[in-house]
Chains A and B, each alone.
Chain A
Amino acid sequence: MTSAAIVGAAYSHPIVRHADVPIGALARQAALAAINDAEIRSSEIDGLAVYVNPSRMGAGTTDGIDLVSATFMARSLGLSEVHWSVQLNPGSFVGSIAEASRAVASGACKYALVWRAMHNPPGQFGRYTSREAGGADQYLAPYGLSNYVMQHALQYSRYLAKYGATREHLATYIVGNRENAAQVPESVFFGKGIDKEDYLDGRVIAHPYTLLDCDMPVDVCTAVVVTSAASTANGHRRPVYIQGSASLGYRPEAHVINTLEDFEAGAAQVGRTLWKNVDIGPDDIDIANIYDGFSGFVYFLLEGYGFCSRGEAFEFIQDGRVARNGQLPINTNGGSLGMGRLHGGAQVVEAVRQIQQRCGTRQVPEPQHVLVSSGNPANSHGVMVLSKYPD
């Protein structure tokens, strides 16, 4: 049941650790590039969808500096008639594209712009500085546990203990993934491959997570233009159809911190919902651009989406299966770990380019269906199937 398509996609350029301009300027640049890629005029944008959470601890709230709201984007592009807009929090970049797909399919707007703006301020990324910890933080910050790397390390640490995996198993993905990224000119790691020892001996942040298990914070914005499938009959270059999606993730119990089991339940729930909303199954997926902001997500999501059984992903990824020329390539441009902390942007733009056959030396032959996802699967996830044809 395909009723929407992505007709334009772009990142801000270049992708750098710290930009000379605020992310509001990068968002404008990415929006105009995506609009240009869609071969429309910016005045034709009449819908806006954005996941606005800066997704780092200690973030400020200044529009255009820490985040880019729908209002900012409307002003920046000089949009006089916005018929539909939504801001998500919690949410995800892929989830905001899903919202736009439903808006255009219902006729609420004709061309929706969707973006994800990420800021990396000077100094230590995501440092927790509050003297008082209220809300959910009260059970974590006093113990020094208010840090995303630590919180996700707890889940990965439990995965290793629960299923008997070792760090060596994930090295297969990390090294292969970096090899993909090293071939992408826009990547922060262009030309910089690594070997297994680089990964296993890497600098520990929160054991068992090392530097190479975490995506590199950057200043960047990713933008896409979404329109109805019916509108693509007007001759958009190469529309990429949104076959179906699922958002957020639900786990039955609240915990002071998401547990591995919460991630497993959430991932399974979005997985079930996704396959209910599309006409295909995991075996029909040609490329899986799975969110890899933290390396362990690759395991949790492969299992949750049903590509393999629970507790088996660490074996599933071996033997070349998920390499670019393998049976199920994952993140052909290196994903978040390879491109930087685009928070789903790397997954989405690469999927669009692969289907449009614009990936040059890293082109996978004729992919028909590409899965993309972003965000943590316990409560802030989005997953979607993008397809070459509308049916």
Chain B
Amino acid sequence: MVKLNLEQAETIEMGTRASMNLPPGVQPVRPTPVADTLSKPFWLAASRGELAIQRCNRCGKYFHPPTVHCMQCNDAELVFQPVSGLGTVVAVTVMHEARVSGFEGVTPYTCVLVELDEQQGLSIASNYVGGRGQDVRAGTRVRAVFEPVDVDTVLPQFGPAS
């Protein structure tokens, strides 16, 4: 179980709920991520408000999702490194229907695919939070923010970089 650092949680941007147009008093139960052997450090870092991506210690290539061994140089020594949290949106979609349990009442909601500054093609998916869905498009600069969703889980999200 991943323990949330509650003090850090106070400073985490809480505007995310409002930006998802939730009616007052409604808390949707969204699917919770279940960490595996490879991804545990990613979620642990997220719980501390940090975006950390797996990286090959020898050749420096980043992998997301995390991999078993470096697919570039075959080295087995992979570590999770904090990244800047900055990136560029490469694709956007706005979902108008609730087809994932827990997303009733928050439609339409925006999802983005973000290419992190650290490496071409290094992409991560999230919602677009803390800004207007209609303002985001391919090329929008974004930065990571962190959304606690329950006592154990913090989700990396992306919002406007400025």
Contact = CB atoms under 8 A, between A and B. Distances in A.
Contacts of A132: 31-32, 34
A139 B91 contact: no
A77 interface: no
Interface string B140-160: 000000000100010101000
B51 to A, nearest CB: 13
Interface residues of B, number: 45
A256 B125 CA distance: 7
Interface residues of A, number: 47
28 contacts: A127-B100, A127-B101, A129-B101, A133-B31, A133-B32, A133-B33, A133-B34, A134-B33, A135-B36, A138-B35, A141-B33, A142-B149, A144-B30, A145-B100, A147-B95, A147-B100, A161-B91, A205-B96, A206-B93, A206-B95, A207-B95, A207-B108, A209-B93, A254-B71, A256-B64, A257-B123, A259-B91, A259-B113
A157 B93 CA distance: 7
Nearest to A154: B91
Given A138-B36, A139-B64, A207-B94, 5 more contacts: A135-B36, A136-B65, A141-B33, A147-B100, A254-B67
Contacts of A41: none
B138 A142 contact: no
Contacts of A203: 96
Most central of A141, A149, A153 by chain B CB within 10 Å: A141
A17 B109 CA distance: 28
Q: Chain B's interface: helix, strand, loop or mixed, by majority?
A: loop
Nearest to B106: A144
A146 interface: yes
Contact of B32 (A131, A147, A161, A254): A131
Contact of A253 (B29, B91, B121, B137): B121
A185 to B, nearest CB: 31
